[in-house]
Chain A
């Protein structure tokens, strides 16, 4: 079939070919060829007119109707005008003197704290062989999870999942502790529970080998890995840090629960509660090392957590924060809970054999009004 059609087309295409200028022809050739085409176009037009004009010939158009040529001219002028207008409008819309796109207002992370309750225990320290039971008792001692998380609230839990290490190496928060916190928050009726961190090593391996992903999921949390879509730029307005990319749950959540582990840290002395906020940041956060103490305080002031549940089940005494050798790990079987991060860090420093007054970010954090390093002055309950 198609061959027949094809063969029917042959003479026409040959005609067209013959009208093309031969290679090497100059513009006269083109002129000549277009001239040669003219009669056939004319013929087409007169045919068309014949249809439009209902048999009228010669002058061709009915009175009042634009001729086909006029319509075509109008259409072309219209299209050209539209493109020109569009180009000018787009150009004016995009113009910027400084080469930057338009500024946007950045969101701020809200204050996640709850109101103080007069007479309530401010710091609970629980020792015992069962880490999950320690968490339950300590949270109960400071008023129960219901004091911090209301029904339907969205809660983000921030363990330390920084390193590609196993739980017994104590470089990450104990997975049993994280799971128990998730269960308590779920029991308080939270509408959404995220567990997240920005790992230093490969995130998927840290989340897996720390045991936290599995434990948190089993307890009912949504685990958010720090992939490129997980970050939002926020206004930090700190002393050092002005803006930063943080994991979205910290922007969206109503409540934030910090679940740090206690470790030695080469540069800052120790990493515990306040230092754990490095883990909400994406981007080139290693630059913060140039003034680590002030940047820790900036981050702690940015997040303002609801509650901090400090995991000292196993602590890392040396080669922190990465560890690796079991010889550096000390079994402490301790959980400490408070709303005061500075007090908890001061308490944790003691576990590592350090003096809080020697640790820059603890001193600076107290100066910034984030809490007190005199943890013994707080209303404390110790269970064991």
Chain B
């Protein structure tokens, strides 16, 4: 009976998660808190608080989960986690037929302590100012795996009926990583959860203190070991149950006909094992490695010294070091971006910024009065701007700039070929328009005089939204292109002196 209750919870939470992802479009989002699962994630709260020294207000949702875990153990993994449900189902497909073989699949292995080392590295990285938890966190991974690869593929196949035509650079790679993680269930069930998942590791640590635990009644146990046949966490229920590994799936209680194993309030301490297999020395080494990795990464790519012109961050993004201290790479901003221009970075933001959002204006521009990316950001890496603040009111209040447009006069039709065009001026959303034109007379090849409109950029008004680059009729590399220069999030990026900062 308890198993059916658990399955019902799993189904409800998975469907709820899928609904929230589905609703993350400009058409359906309304006021839904679509990031509820990430806000619930205590590891997100912990790492971003470590790195940025503030707890983003929505992340207080993680506090009840911490309390619940301290009471009930690592139940999240097999009751709530959406990726956990997928692992559970696939693990069921990947499990062996015979009870004896299943018991062998679910024994504790030395590799199961790797997740604690991963957790230590992640915490070390966060302490040094770089949040990388989203690369392996199950909720961020599921967000990314579905929203940047699977859903766009489905939508494009269905003539873009769901969210229009969507393309994400190297989205296939994200698909391979996500479905690869799921496919590991065919090595043995819950491979990812047991070996890699840092959230599982963190909740496992909290479970050391849990009040309710699975424990054996030795007087009733006849050592048949059937309790271990479907143990999700490989928590060794046959032996001394490992509180850190137990996912409270309750499968062990079903197997036992004698009532020899049960979920109990405050069982005798000697009946459960609370130590992780990772030695203290390895914990410390992994944490130090994480801390040390940050200056190494920054010595390689740098955050400020030589920014990549393609590192165009979403409007409202914090200055780069603060941004990297908060961005999870969950890619929800990319999912909600109405033009599809927000893309997972590959090399543009350094190794540290891998899969973090950048705008690729050739794919899609930043909609002038849209602030949805900030609305869905679970950690505040992108500030939720008010439309009036984003648009600004020149000259009194400057707009939020994410970059600037520059003409490539060899590729621009009027400049390069003496052809009328100025689509860029037409679509420029600022008022007055940042792209303006002057009538100039040129002598054409045949010697005739020709007067046409030549476009120019006014940097003070350009927000770097990129619609000029998106709409430029010169296919592939546009005749007008946006780079991150003059973005307003960092005074170091400013070009013009008009801001008063150098």
For the complex, what is the distance from the CA of A291 to the CA of B432, rounded to whole Å?
25
Closest chain A residue to B156, Cβ basis: A228
- Interface pair A164/B161, CB less than 8 Å apart: no
Contacts of B437 in A (CB 8 A): 266
Which residues 261-293 of A have a CB within 8 angstroms of B? 265-267, 284, 286-287, 289-292
Contacts of B429 in A (CB 8 A): 163-164, 201, 322, 324
Task: Tell me whether B165 is interfacial, beta carbon within 8 Å.
Answer: yes
- Interface pair B433/A319, CB less than 8 Å apart: yes
Task: Tell me whether B419 is interfacial, beta carbon within 8 Å.
Answer: yes
Instruction: Given A227-B161, A266-B425, A322-B429, answer yes or no on A291-B420 (Cβ-Cβ < 8 Å).
Output: yes
Task: Tell me whether A13 is interfacial, beta carbon within 8 Å.
Answer: no
Chain B 171-202 against A: per-residue CB contact (8 Å), 1 yes, 0 no?
00000000000000000000000000000000
CB distance from A139 to the nearest CB of B (A): 31
- Interface pair B433/A227, CB less than 8 Å apart: no
22 A-B pairs (CB sep. < 8 Å)? A164-B429, A165-B369, A201-B467, A202-B339, A204-B26, A209-B369, A227-B161, A228-B159, A228-B165, A266-B426, A267-B421, A267-B453, A284-B473, A287-B473, A289-B420, A289-B426, A290-B413, A290-B421, A321-B426, A322-B426, A324-B391, A324-B431
- Interface pair A266/B26, CB less than 8 Å apart: no
For the complex, what is the distance from the CA of A163 to the CA of B430, rounded to whole Å?
12
- Interface pair A319/B26, CB less than 8 Å apart: no
- Interface pair B369/A286, CB less than 8 Å apart: no
Show the binding face of B for A, using Cβ within 8 Å. Answer: 26-27, 159-161, 164-165, 338-339, 367-370, 391, 413, 419-423, 425-433, 437, 453, 467, 471-473
Task: Tell me whether A200 is interfacial, beta carbon within 8 Å.
Answer: yes
Task: Tell me whether A328 is interfacial, beta carbon within 8 Å.
Answer: yes
Task: Name the residue in A200, A284, A324, A328 with the highest tally of chain B Cβ atoms < 10 Å from its Cβ.
Answer: A324
- Interface pair B473/A286, CB less than 8 Å apart: yes
Contacts of A290 in B (CB 8 A): 413, 419-421, 473
Task: Tell me whether A356 is interfacial, beta carbon within 8 Å.
Answer: no
Contacts of A163 in B (CB 8 A): 429
Q: Count how many chain A residues have C-beta atoms less than 8 Å from C-beta atoms of the other chain.
A: 31
Task: Tell me whether A205 is interfacial, beta carbon within 8 Å.
Answer: yes
Closest chain A residue to B422, Cβ basis: A267
Contacts of B430 in A (CB 8 A): 324
Task: Tell me whether A18 is interfacial, beta carbon within 8 Å.
Answer: no
Contacts of B391 in A (CB 8 A): 324
Contacts of B425 in A (CB 8 A): 266-267
Task: Name the residue in B27, B413, B419 with the highest tally of chain A Cβ atoms < 10 Å from its Cβ.
Answer: B27
Show the binding face of A for B, using Cβ within 8 Å. Answer: 163-165, 200-202, 204-205, 209, 227-229, 265-267, 284, 286-287, 289-292, 318-319, 321-325, 327-328
> Which one of B164, B369, B370 contacts A228 once the chains associate, using CB atoms below 8 Å?
B164
CB distance from B166 to the nearest CB of A (A): 11
For the complex, what is the distance from the CA of A284 to the CA of B413, rounded to whole Å?
15
- Interface pair A319/B431, CB less than 8 Å apart: yes
A/B pair count, beta carbons within 8 Å: 92
- Interface pair B432/A289, CB less than 8 Å apart: no
For the complex, what is the distance from the CA of A290 to the CA of B367, rounded to whole Å?
25
For the complex, what is the distance from the CA of A227 to the CA of B159, rounded to whole Å?
8
CB distance from B417 to the nearest CB of A (A): 9
Contacts of B431 in A (CB 8 A): 319, 322-325, 327-328
Closest chain A residue to B420, Cβ basis: A290
- Interface pair B420/A267, CB less than 8 Å apart: yes
Contacts of A286 in B (CB 8 A): 423, 471-473
- Interface pair B159/A204, CB less than 8 Å apart: no
CB distance from B101 to the nearest CB of A (A): 13
For the complex, what is the distance from the CA of A321 to the CA of B425, rounded to whole Å?
10
- Interface pair A266/B422, CB less than 8 Å apart: yes
For the complex, what is the distance from the CA of A319 to the CA of B428, rounded to whole Å?
9
For the complex, what is the distance from the CA of A38 to the CA of B234, rounded to whole Å?
50
For the complex, what is the distance from the CA of A200 to the CA of B425, rounded to whole Å?
13
Closest chain A residue to B28, Cβ basis: A204
CB distance from B157 to the nearest CB of A (A): 11
13 further A-B pairs in the complex, CB-CB below 8 A; given A202-B367, A228-B164, A289-B423? A164-B429, A202-B370, A204-B26, A204-B338, A205-B370, A227-B160, A267-B420, A284-B473, A286-B423, A319-B433, A322-B426, A322-B431, A324-B429
- Interface pair A200/B427, CB less than 8 Å apart: yes
When A and B form their complex, which 10 residue pairs have the shortest distance between CB atoms, in order from nearest? Answer: A324-B431, A325-B431, A202-B338, A228-B160, A286-B423, A286-B473, A319-B431, A228-B159, A204-B27, A229-B159
Contacts of A266 in B (CB 8 A): 422, 425-426, 433, 437, 453
> Which one of B164, B369, B433, B472 contacts A164 once the chains associate, using CB atoms below 8 Å?
B369
For the complex, what is the distance from the CA of A323 to the CA of B431, rounded to whole Å?
6
Contacts of B368 in A (CB 8 A): 164, 201, 324
For the complex, what is the distance from the CA of A227 to the CA of B428, rounded to whole Å?
23
Contacts of A164 in B (CB 8 A): 367-370, 429
> Which one of A292, A322, A323 contacts B427 once the chains associate, using CB atoms below 8 Å?
A322
For the complex, what is the distance from the CA of A20 to the CA of B237, rounded to whole Å?
43
- Interface pair B432/A319, CB less than 8 Å apart: yes
Contacts of A284 in B (CB 8 A): 473
> Which one of B26, B164, B421, B433 contacts A322 once the chains associate, using CB atoms below 8 Å?
B433
For the complex, what is the distance from the CA of A325 to the CA of B392, rounded to whole Å?
11
CB distance from B436 to the nearest CB of A (A): 8
CB distance from A212 to the nearest CB of B (A): 15
CB distance from A89 to the nearest CB of B (A): 29
CB distance from A111 to the nearest CB of B (A): 30
- Interface pair B426/A267, CB less than 8 Å apart: yes
Contacts of B419 in A (CB 8 A): 290
Closest chain B residue to A271, Cβ basis: B426
For the complex, what is the distance from the CA of A15 to the CA of B432, rounded to whole Å?
86
CB distance from A287 to the nearest CB of B (A): 5
For the complex, what is the distance from the CA of A290 to the CA of B453, rounded to whole Å?
11
For the complex, what is the distance from the CA of A289 to the CA of B413, rounded to whole Å?
11
Contacts of B413 in A (CB 8 A): 290
CB distance from A329 to the nearest CB of B (A): 10
- Interface pair A289/B160, CB less than 8 Å apart: no
Contacts of B433 in A (CB 8 A): 266, 319, 322
For the complex, what is the distance from the CA of A323 to the CA of B433, rounded to whole Å?
8
For the complex, what is the distance from the CA of A162 to the CA of B330, rounded to whole Å?
32
For the complex, what is the distance from the CA of A265 to the CA of B423, rounded to whole Å?
11
Contacts of A321 in B (CB 8 A): 426
Contacts of B427 in A (CB 8 A): 200, 322
Contacts of B338 in A (CB 8 A): 202, 204-205
CB distance from B308 to the nearest CB of A (A): 27
CB distance from B7 to the nearest CB of A (A): 25
- Interface pair B473/A289, CB less than 8 Å apart: yes
Contacts of A322 in B (CB 8 A): 426-429, 431, 433
Closest chain B residue to A268, Cβ basis: B426
Task: Name the residue in A228, A287, A292, A322 with the highest tally of chain B Cβ atoms < 10 Å from its Cβ.
Answer: A322
For the complex, what is the distance from the CA of A325 to the CA of B394, rounded to whole Å?
10
CB distance from B250 to the nearest CB of A (A): 27
CB distance from B79 to the nearest CB of A (A): 32
Contacts of B426 in A (CB 8 A): 265-267, 289, 321-322
Closest chain A residue to B423, Cβ basis: A286
For the complex, what is the distance from the CA of A34 to the CA of B387, rounded to whole Å?
78
Contacts of B159 in A (CB 8 A): 227-229
Contacts of A227 in B (CB 8 A): 159-161, 164
Task: Name the residue in A164, A284, A327 with the highest tally of chain B Cβ atoms < 10 Å from its Cβ.
Answer: A164
For the complex, what is the distance from the CA of A202 to the CA of B364, rounded to whole Å?
10
- Interface pair A202/B26, CB less than 8 Å apart: yes
For the complex, what is the distance from the CA of A201 to the CA of B365, rounded to whole Å?
9
Contacts of B26 in A (CB 8 A): 202, 204-205
Contacts of A292 in B (CB 8 A): 420
